[in-house]
């Protein structure tokens, strides 16, 4: 790698990029800062609170609602992610590695669902959930996202890169077809699996409109829906609203700081191949 000369022009561009990046964080910085301020200090726009306090967090967490919503969101996002990682891979693998009549039709049918926006399906889903008694249940929140065409397509592309010889060798060794998928093929596509897992988890963690529609009791709210109702309740107590927003944001930011490399790579992979 050739060393890049440091010129005034380059330094200015670098500084502008850095300042822009810091400006991007302004909303997050003020959110955290205000969550640490006393209600009397909210109007004081200093970034570092004069007298930092965790009172807001104690207040917001005291009635257990937020912990419940955190747990709901975490549980739902985890289960939906596991389901997607398993089923999207299974379908992607089958479509990539088996030759059978109808394969192309199945692929096109699944791919065609990408054209249908979620918003078009929420009314029929709502009717369905109502008929089956799924309204206001965890399953009601989860069922529409258990598999996605996006994930299937992503995994299919990655399974296509695995040489058939690997699978044939396993077949000769007497492994059954499911074991070949699970123990031979899956370990070969772990980068794609983590990309799919990151995207699915994030999508479900931040999902808003469907959980808003399908849940009515507060105990079943996911974090975004809970936060939204909490914020309306608090009206003008901005320090408490910011604390709630911080609680919704902290987990993903913490995970990002630990897994930055994987997350950026995963997002790029999912974005470009999906």
Q: What residues numbered 127-186 form the site for another protein, per CB under 8 A?
A: 127-128, 130, 143-144, 146-147, 149, 152, 177-178, 181
Q: Cβ of residue 3: shortest distance to another protein, in angstroms?
A: 9
Residues contacting another protein: total by CB under 8 A: 89
Question: Under rule CB under 8 A, which residues in 47-86 are in contact with another protein?
Answer: none
109: contact with another protein by CB under 8 A: yes
96: contact with another protein by CB under 8 A: no
Instruction: Return the sign of the alpha-carbon dihedral for residues 101, 104, 107, 108.
Output: negative
Q: Cβ of residue 129: shortest distance to another protein, in angstroms?
A: 11
Q: Cβ of residue 12: shortest distance to another protein, in angstroms?
A: 10
Binding residue for another protein, selected from 79, 122, 162, 175, defined by CB under 8 A: 122
* Token digits of residue 272: 């470009």
Question: Under rule CB under 8 A, which residues in 225-264 are in contact with another protein?
Answer: 225, 227-228, 231-232, 238, 241-242, 244-245, 248-249, 252-253, 256, 260, 263-264
CA–CA separation, 249 and 144 (whole Å): 24
Stretch that binds another protein, among 17-25, 57-65, 153-161, 185-193 (CB under 8 A): 17-25
Stretch that binds another protein, among 49-57, 58-66, 154-162, 221-229 (CB under 8 A): 221-229
Give the residue with the Cβ less far from another protein, 130 or 183: 130
């Amino acid at each position: 790698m050739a060393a890049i000369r440091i010129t005034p022009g380059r330094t200015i561009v670098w500084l502008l990029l850095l300042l822009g990046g810091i400006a991007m964080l302004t909303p997050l910085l003020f959110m955290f800062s205000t969550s640490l301020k006393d209600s009397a200090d909210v109007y004081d726009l200093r970034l570092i609170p004069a007298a930092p306090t965790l009172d807001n967090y104690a207040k917001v967490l005291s009635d257990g609602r937020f912990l419940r919503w955190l747990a709901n969101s975490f549980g739902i996002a985890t289960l939906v992610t596991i389901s997607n990682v398993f089923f999207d891979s299974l379908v992607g693998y089958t479509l990539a590695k088996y030759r059978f009549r109808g394969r192309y039709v199945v692929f096109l049918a699944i791919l065609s669902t990408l054209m249908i926006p979620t918003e078009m399906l929420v009314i029929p889903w709502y009717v369905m959930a109502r008929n089956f008694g799924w309204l206001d249940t965890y399953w009601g929140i989860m069922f529409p996202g258990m598999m996605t065409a996006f994930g299937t397509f992503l995994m299919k592309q990655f399974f296509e890169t695995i040489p058939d010889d690997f699978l044939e060798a396993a077949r000769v060794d007497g492994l059954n077809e499911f074991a070949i998928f699970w123990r031979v093929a899956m370990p070969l596509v772990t980068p794609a699996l983590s990309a799919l897992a990151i995207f699915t988890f994030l999508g479900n963690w931040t999902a808003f409109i469907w959980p808003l529609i399908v849940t009515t009791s507060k105990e079943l709210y996911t974090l975004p829906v809970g936060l939204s109702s909490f914020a309306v309740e608090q009206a003008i107590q901005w320090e408490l609203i910011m604390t709630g927003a911080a609680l919704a944001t902290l987990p993903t930011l913490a995970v990002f700081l630990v897994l930055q490399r994987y997350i950026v790579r995963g997002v790029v992979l999912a974005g470009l191949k999906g």
